[in-house]
Chain A
């Protein structure tokens, strides 16, 4: 008996799967291009690239509604793309241009767009978790069913802000999901030297919430776990901690010589744990999407990124008069 191929994979239909691939491809191409552009010296400030971690942002955000919120990290480009920020506006922002998503005043580490639920990248390590506690509380009081996700790194998981937020979210029983992107290094310090030998996910037990470890290179692994966590949060089940094991393909920041990493560590990570390659393998093997359809998306994304850079370079920088605008907000 031969059965008909499923029209969905993990509950996602073809259109949704193509969107997921577009998100991951956009993140990858965006970061690869920023890597090149930063080397020209034309980008002010610092950039921290998300390449290698695409499955986490895409997997988590694929579970969210448009009116859900995410609070990001210093490595926030991927979260911004996955939550729906305008890619051209992001590129312009990183170049510090007036057409940027924050009018060129924020740069890489402060990309935010509340209209799509992106509460902002954050230069403060561990800065996102307290913010989503507030969002979660507001959603609970208003009974909107919104979910708030905080992304954090393994380094941030040692911060008081992170641990206090787990406690706060637990006692308030709010719909928050804390996603730890454990890439094995807090800046240049390996986990073995900064985590006291305890799994991050285990810390959830201490605050009365479930903690799960997933393969952060595998979109479907992240999506399956995040779906459960988001559903739980949306329906009043309280917060969840997801620890996603992953490897970043670049340094902590652009210019990082990465002398703390193994000799072939990055090559091996790219060879065996590339989220885009793993996703393509899964969906093509399942017979839901053809490789030619993915190549068409590759082409469209490449053109988008090219346009984004060209337009950003041509855009004006903020003027001196812009310095005193948008500094305070009046409620």
Chain B
């Protein structure tokens, strides 16, 4: 679980904001729009406002090119020049040159863990969160979406995320209340292992290319940890089946050509793109269960992105496992509100609705 700290010297909060998220080919094939880095910088700024209000003093951020950190610094400078009522937490941008590749995230998470961050706030898509989750050990993450096609991270105002994360690292809300353990999928081949948070799929497309997956006809098999009907992406295929997964369970779906498959669904595989998907069979997977996927030349996708290719005889296995601890923003803010209500009632010695106009 997340490292905690005393409220007088709260642990720093890490921030991983991916400058490359929200700009891929889905802007073209599925009608998404670009989430520019100016807005991501503004999201981090608003996050810091929330963190400050909750008592956090220090923020450690991953260096990010393409104007993200520059946009953040402009916001901070504007706030300071405007003589705002409260100082923001001190911002430290980790001192390494970004390569604009996922290794930046791996490097930044390792450095943040060594610095003892109490939590890591992540701004990105499912892919960014996957990389953080694979390397953040027991440190909790707060997952914020800065794209248009995400299942794991939430579309949420970052000020609220800052208030909730601040409550966690200052100890205002207990970890039992504030954190939830998410499931994950451990993928293994002969020469690599990797983690997925939402879905793993095999496709007939033998190149990684633009990474995104939007052509459902290329899908062979799918394993998901999330099967909510109101979901967009590959997980929506499972979501449309109406299967309710228990905590720690996953669903394995075997896919086929819609023209010949016994069952066909219209699935929102991406925002702005609903397409026919052929369903051949599905089965529930229990916690710790390992599944061997059918071999075949193609690519393996992790959380909706082609990640690596495989040859005709390569073995790919998927195991349902424990994933990262996530800050439950709703539960944390609800706990704070409940504590306010309790304090109010104690102060007024009553349990009635409070009327501020009462003399």
Binding site for B on A (CB under 8 A): 1-3, 5-6, 9-10, 191-192, 195-199, 201-202, 204-205, 210-215, 218, 220-221, 223-225, 228-229, 232, 240, 243, 245, 262, 282, 285-288
Contacts and interface: CB of A to CB of B under 8 A. Distances in A.
Interface in B273-315: 294-298, 309, 311-313
Interface stretch (B52-60, B203-211, B316-324): B203-211
Interface residues of B, number: 40
Nearest to A279: B207
B332 interface: no
Main secondary structure on B side of the interface with A:
loop
Interface string B124-162: 000000000000000000000000000000000000000
A282 B27 contact: no
B69 to A, nearest CB: 9
9 contacts: A1-B294, A1-B295, A196-B67, A199-B23, A202-B36, A218-B209, A220-B209, A221-B211, A282-B207
Q: Which 3 A-B pairs have the closest CB atoms?
A: A197-B67, A220-B209, A286-B206
B91 interface: no
B210 A220 contact: yes
A14 to B, nearest CB: 13
Contacts of B210: 214-215, 218, 220-221, 224-225
A287 B37 CA distance: 39
A2 B313 contact: yes
Contacts of B340: none
B271 interface: no
A287 B34 contact: no
A296 B206 CA distance: 23
Contact of B20 (A212, A213, A228): A213
A201 B34 contact: yes
Nearest to A222: B210
B25 interface: yes
Contacts of B90: none
A313 to B, nearest CB: 40
A168 B68 CA distance: 29
A6 B100 contact: no
A198 B37 contact: yes
A3 B297 contact: yes
